Amino acid sequence: MESKRRAFPRFYFVSTADLLDILSNGNNPVKVMTHMNKCFQAIEKLTLDSPSGNTRPTGKEIISCVGKETIKFKSGLQLEGKVEEYMNLIIDKMRSELRLHCFDAMKAYCNPKPRHEWCFDWSSQLGLVVNQIYWCSEVEEAFEALDNSDDAYHTLNHDPLAMKKYSEQQVQQLSDLIASTKRNLDKPQRQKIMNMITIDAHSRDMVIGLIDNNEVRKGCFKWMSQLRTYWDTDIDDAVIRICDASFPYGYEYLGNGGRLV
Same domain, 104 and 205: no
Same domain, 77 and 171: no
Evaluate whether residue 242 is within a structural domain.
yes
Evaluate whether residue 261 is within a structural domain.
no
CA–chain centroid gap for 5, Å, is: 28
Same domain, 243 and 132: yes
pLDDT at 111: 84
Q: Which of 64, 93, 109 is the last residue of a domain?
A: 109
Same domain, 188 and 84: no
Mean pLDDT, residues 238-248 taken together = 97
pLDDT at 148: 66
Same domain, 221 and 149: yes
3-class state of residue 105 by DSSP: helix
From CA 66, how far away is CA 196, in angstroms rounded?
17
Q: Is 224 exposed, middle or buried (0-12, 13-18, 19+ CB in 10 A)?
A: middle
Same domain, 55 and 125: no
**How confident is the model over 47-61, as pLDDT tens digits?**
999 877 788 999 999
Looking at the 3D structure of the chain, how many domains does it have? 2
Same domain, 96 and 207: no
Sequence-distant (6+) residues with CB within 8 A of 26 are 32, 82, 83
Evaluate whether residue 260 is within a structural domain.
no
Same domain, 8 and 66: yes
Mean pLDDT, residues 91-114 taken together = 94
Mean pLDDT, residues 211-222 taken together = 94
Same domain, 77 and 105: yes
pLDDT at 154: 53
pLDDT over 60 at 218, yes or no: yes
What range defines the domain where residue 134 resides? Answer: 115-248
Q: Which of 68, 92, 109 is the last residue of a domain?
A: 109
Evaluate whether residue 204 is within a structural domain.
yes
The average confidence (pLDDT) of the chain is: 93
Number of Cβ within a 10 Å radius of residue 8: 21
**How confident is the model over 180-213, as pLDDT tens digits?**
999 999 999 999 999 999 999 999 999 999 999 9
**How confident is the model over 104-144, as pLDDT tens digits?**
999 999 888 899 899 999 999 999 999 999 999 999 999 99
Q: Which of 109, 139, 159 is the last residue of a domain?
A: 109
CATH code of the domain covering residue 182: 1.20.58.1120
User: pLDDT higher for 148 or 44?
Assistant: 44
CA 216-218-219 angle, to 5 degrees, is: 110
Please state, for a pLDDT cut of 70, what percent of the chain lies above it. Answer: 96
pLDDT at 51: 79
Sequence-distant (6+) residues with CB within 8 A of 121 are 105, 108, 113
pLDDT over 60 at 156, yes or no: no
pLDDT over 70 at 92, yes or no: yes
Evaluate whether residue 174 is within a structural domain.
yes
pLDDT over 70 at 225, yes or no: yes
Mean pLDDT, residues 90-96 taken together = 98
CATH code of the domain covering residue 88: 3.20.180.20
Same domain, 20 and 55: yes
> Would you place residue 152 in the very low, low, confident or very high pLDDT band (cuts 50, 70, 90)?
very low
pLDDT over 80 at 158, yes or no: no
Evaluate whether residue 259 is within a structural domain.
no
Same domain, 100 and 28: yes
Same domain, 202 and 148: yes
Contact status, residue 23 vs residue 4, Cβ threshold 8 Å = yes
Number of H helices, E strands in the chain: 11, 6
pLDDT at 150: 55
> 70: which strand partners?
63
